[in-house]
């Protein structure tokens, strides 16, 4: 399982989440950051580091943000 970064991240450009990730699986995708699903170890360290509360475990992504699950997987070709 992976974590998903959702719409509140768009345009934020705060890299706090990348600084705490122990496996460096969070990548700059232009307008937001995305988490590589094959590299994420599901530690959750990024969740409290996010200043806009945009990161969720995949199973907890709010219904109105589900498009970001596909966006995340598509970006990495997974």
Q: Is 90 exceeded by the pLDDT of residue 39?
A: yes
CATH class, domain 3-76, is alpha beta
Determine the average pLDDT of the residues in 36-56: 97
* pLDDT value of residue 38: 96
CA distances 20 to 64, 65, 73, 74, Å, are 27, 24, 22, 24
Structure-derived torsion over alpha carbons of residues 52, 10, 55, 22, reported in degrees to the nearest 10: -100
The rounded mean pLDDT for the chain is: 96
Higher pLDDT, 13 or 35: 35
pLDDT at 13: 86
pLDDT at 31: 95
* Residue ranges of domains in the chain: 3-76
The confidence score (pLDDT) of residue 1 equals: 79
């Amino acid at each position: 399982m992976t974590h998903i970064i959702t719409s509140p991240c768009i345009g934020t450009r705060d890299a706090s989440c990348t600084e705490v990730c122990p496996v460096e699986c969070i990548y700059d995708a232009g307008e937001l950051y995305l988490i590589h699903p094959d590299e994420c170890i599901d530690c959750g360290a990024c969740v409290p580091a996010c200043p806009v509360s945009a990161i969720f475990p995949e199973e907890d992504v709010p219904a109105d943000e589900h498009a970001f699950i596909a966006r995340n997987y598509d970006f990495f070709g997974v």
